[in-house]
A and B are shown apart, each in its own frame.
Chain A
Amino acid sequence: MKKHFMAKCYPILSVLLLTGFITHAQGSGPGVRGARAAALGHASVTLNDVWAVGNNAAGLGQLSAPTAAVYAENRYLLSALNTVALAVAAPLGKVENGLARRGVVGVEVQRFGGKLYSEQRIGAGYGYRGGLVSIGARVDLLQLSIEGLGSRRAVAVSLGGQAELVPKRLVFGAYLYNLNQAKLAEYQQERVPTVLKAGLSYRPTAKVMLNIETEKEVEQSADFKAGVEYRVIDALALRAGLRTLTEETTGGLGFRAGALQIDYAAAWHAALGLSQHLSIGLSFNAKQP
């Protein structure tokens, strides 16, 4: 049964190839989570919001209240390229000085694709922060389905770390996705992509954040990403970013109102056009400041 898993899916494959999407999420890459990360040109390895569960599990460690969020993404106005995700994260044990004593767990369910080709995943992540350093890990259960060809499952293990080099000013992050190099099919050694990303975030004031990041998948060219966030007022943030590999420029907005966080991002690909990202999060903190 050494049959190429994707053999008869040329229509879908060609769409995937065309979109350049394949460079990022081919056969279940790490992808991007949350419209905030999308607006920053995917330079998200140093972020620590609830979507850290997918962007870099180490960032979960800084979460101080239970949080739930939903995310929807549409690429190039094609419904076959939709992604939806739901994430829930909660601190374990007591929270002291805004830090969970025993770390934070997060769970995420995600679905990408349409009727002909789809990817589903359930991921469980854990992040712990001690001093100026956070570490995190995540396990993904992936399923790829192609209509008429059935489906394949794989387990991917990921590790992440974040460290404040200069407290609150300069943050480093690194994330290794699928370190076990999980195999999808014997034919041509088809594997879940192994991706390593590393980046720096410079935060000269509480309002400004500049991120740079490099990302490498073993079989794809290296990607360089940069993003900037400016918090105009406490309730509103403006964001912009770019990615060199897919030649996309991104922009977005973020609103914060009490426990509610709404982010929107739009990305422009020179050849393929518009992608849109929307995420809504709710933080269940009894004493909201």
Chain B
Amino acid sequence: MLAAGTAQAQEYVRPTPDLDRLTQELFAEIQSDQVPSEDLYETLLQYYQTPISLNTATREDLRGLLLLSENQISQLLTYRQQRGPLLSLYELQAVPGFDLRTIYRAAPFVTVQTAGGTNGLRGPLWQRVFKEDNNALFLRYERVLQTRTGYTAAPLDSLGRGPTRYLGSPDKLLLRYRVSHAKDFSLGVTAEKDAGEQLAWNPKGRQYGADFLSAHFVVQERGKLKTLAVGDYQLQFGQGLLLSSGLQVGKGAETITTLRRSSIGVRPYSSILESTFFRGAAATVEVTPTVRATAFVSRKRVDANVQLAADSLAEFDEFSSGFLLTGFHRTPSERANRQTLRETVAGGNLSYTSRSGHLAAGLTAVDTHFDKAIQRRPELYNQYEFRGTHNLALGAHYTYVRGNVLVFGETARSSSGGWGTVNGLLASLAPTVDVSALVRHYTRDFHTLYGNALSENTRNINESGLYLGLKVRPVARWEVSAYYDQFWFPWLKYDVGAPSRGHDWLTRITYAPTKTSLLYAQLRTRQKAYNPSSDQPIPQPEPTTRHSVLLYYDANPTPTLGLRTRVQGSRYRATDASPWQRGYVLAQDASVAVGRRLRLTARYALFDTDSYDTRQYVFEQDVLYAFSVPALSGQGTRVYGIAEISCTRQLTLWLRLAETHYRHQTTVGSGLEEIQGPRRTEFKAQARYRF
């Protein structure tokens, strides 16, 4: 016991992760409202919740962290092999290739604690679950304080009908419990009700209290059985062309390590994104020390807009024009679309990893069946979209590292005959120079329903592209990263009435004068074709151009004080002939620790945009694991304050109040979300209890 005690005492105290800074460093700036980005970030941060053990992690696990270069991973594995397990995180300083910045970045997400092989020595499973420290119950409440149209009483006409209103209260509620241990087990339950949704017990309508319920139980490392998941889970294999679990960060300022995806296999799901997971069971078995087989089956109901065919000669009697991914069930029509389509997915993966870990290759199969046919609206741009009730996709993936070069890729084919391929290369040309390249090609009839490999479109279809990335550290404390991405769309797209092309580039110069401060300047340009707004009989897409600039400064001049400044602006024009429109935001943040139990954070921001096209997406700090990225347009101020209160060792509270105050506006928002008056105020409270 004493020995264990001292070993514990030597362990580096894991710092609390600065998720806001991680976001700044990894994620791309948001480009559209289509993707529920806030939930995507949460999914990624949930992944970081269970620290990985540096002593047992495989090459693939370490790549999944996105914070280490391939060279650093190789050095760590060699070091581990030669000298045995690391005794403390401090030892990372002795591993060649690890600089202090890398160690500080990675420290919150890794541990050196006991290896997975000793799971059994810590007692039976139920005891380990019971005694696990890494557990937390979250309760979150959220509400917009002003009254929105959707929540007002509406006058009824003589037939007793009125305009659409939300059925539920404007409160948003989230309850989540999770207990997990890396390479051992994970157990979690999540329940969520969005604003406007009802809390109801209605087994007929498949609603049991909250609108969204999720649960999982996962055990890992049981001899030959590597993973067994029951309940909700996600899968990621190869480059995510067929199975991708929402850990993609897209094209961002990290141009090297995030380009390649990791085959992390089966992982538990505990987020609130209502559409990106599987529900059923999955298992991974070690066939031989180098071969692993995964099989999974999932059956769940998804939201879709189901219609009956009006024409008796139609191909399908009953069909859906598409999936609805928002997860909102607030109005009668949204409720009518709730869980109307049954989706059954089965498949597997067989992968080989050489003994050295240098070569990995595998095969993936995903078979999907819907109980009602999918048939998109008969528009020309939907010509090659998935239709029918069945899709089988087969793919192969590989990774090979030799010296300072890593090549990787995945190719797949769907039952439509369409195919997609993504192939890339990462190379460390010198200790201070890294380059990357990635070629992708997804045919117009390639259908991958759960894939999300790198692409400009939100889905892997109808696109070819070439991405080139660079990261240079010319002198200590300075880093320059850049990418250039060129893309072609061989078929029409929504709002793009002809084959089109475009490009996108980004440059970021980062300066870290001290260990706790960071300054960067980022430029980005994106050119992409869209139909002009004028009504022509045959629209000819014209290139739209958007330039954006971001200056960011983040420092902790004292241990109790944090300062952040963000200046961002963009200009946009719809065609080469139209005038530039501009948008600008200046935001100043400060955070202060008051004693040991209280931390206060506040922001004051001014925004000014010419139009909705130049709206500014601004990252905001939020309660733990939540994200806020409001799109600001118009003129006004945005202010928020957060209090984080550590009540006891078990209980932590977060309170957040945010307000946008628009100038020269008498209403905010539109439709059911409309508010009378120039302000929108959001209140959020979260409690975390650790048992």
Q: What is A's interface to B at a CB cutoff of 8 Å?
A: 130-133, 161, 163-166, 170, 172, 174, 176, 179, 181, 189, 194-198, 200, 214, 216-222
Contact = CB atoms under 8 A, between A and B. Distances in A.
A161 B661 contact: no
A184 to B, nearest CB: 14
A256 B513 CA distance: 33
B601 to A, nearest CB: 14
Contact of B663 (A133, A165, A216, A218): A218
Nearest to B590: A161
Contacts of A196: 586, 588, 604-606
Contacts of A172: 553, 555, 563, 565
A218 B636 contact: yes
Interface of B: 513-514, 517, 519, 551, 553, 555, 557-558, 561, 563, 565, 567, 569, 582, 584, 586, 588, 590, 604-606, 608, 635-637, 661, 663-664
A131 B557 contact: yes
Given A170-B513, A196-B586, A214-B567, 9 more contacts: A163-B557, A165-B517, A165-B519, A172-B553, A216-B586, A218-B606, A218-B635, A222-B569, A222-B608
Given A165-B514, A218-B608, A132 B558 contact: yes
Given A196-B586, A196-B606, A222-B569, A189 B555 contact: no
Given A166-B513, A219-B608, A132 B557 contact: yes
Enumerate the 10 nearest inter-chain pairs by beta-carbon distance, A residue then B residue, closest first: A163-B557, A216-B586, A198-B565, A133-B557, A174-B588, A222-B584, A216-B606, A166-B513, A132-B557, A196-B606
B325 to A, nearest CB: 36
Given A161-B590, A218-B608, A218-B663, A200 B558 contact: no
Contacts of A133: 557-558, 561
Given A198-B588, A216-B586, A165 B557 contact: yes
A191 B530 CA distance: 40
Q: Is the interface of A mostly helix, strand, loop or mixed?
A: strand
A163 to B, nearest CB: 4
Contacts of B557: 131-133, 163-165
A248 B519 CA distance: 28
Contacts of A176: 588, 604
B553 A200 contact: yes
Given A132-B557, A218-B663, A181 B637 contact: yes
Contacts of B561: 133, 163
A198 B661 CA distance: 21
A163 B560 CA distance: 13
A57 B517 CA distance: 24
B665 to A, nearest CB: 10
Contacts of A218: 606, 608, 635-637, 663
A63 to B, nearest CB: 20
Contacts of A174: 563, 565, 588
Contacts of A163: 555, 557, 561, 563
B563 A216 contact: no
7 contacts: A170-B513, A174-B588, A195-B606, A196-B606, A198-B553, A218-B635, A222-B569
A219 B664 CA distance: 10
A220 B586 CA distance: 13
Contacts of A181: 637, 661
A222 B553 contact: no
A244 to B, nearest CB: 12
Contacts of A179: 604
Contacts of B635: 218-219
A196 B590 CA distance: 14
Given A161-B590, A165-B517, A216 B608 contact: yes
Contacts of A219: 608, 635, 663
Nearest to A130: B558
A160 B638 CA distance: 18
B441 to A, nearest CB: 42
A218 B635 CA distance: 6
A198 B663 contact: no
A273 B558 CA distance: 45
Contacts of B551: 214
A189 B679 CA distance: 14
Nearest to B516: A165
Contacts of A217: 606
A198 B606 CA distance: 12
A214 B586 CA distance: 8
Nearest to A217: B606
A24 to B, nearest CB: 15
B384 to A, nearest CB: 45
B608 A221 contact: yes
A179 B638 CA distance: 11
Contacts of B569: 222
A49 B590 CA distance: 24
Contacts of B663: 189, 218-219
A131 B557 CA distance: 9
A176 B563 CA distance: 14
A217 B608 CA distance: 9
Given A161-B563, A174-B565, A218-B663, A131 B586 contact: no
Contacts of B604: 176, 179, 196
A166 B514 contact: yes
Nearest to A179: B604
Most buried by B among A132, A197, A217, A218: A218
A202 B528 CA distance: 39
Contacts of A189: 663-664
Given A132-B558, A133-B558, A198 B637 contact: no
A133 B557 CA distance: 7
Contacts of B608: 216, 218-222
A200 B555 CA distance: 13
A194 B637 contact: yes
B560 to A, nearest CB: 10
A163 B569 CA distance: 24
A94 B9 CA distance: 44
Contacts of A197: 586
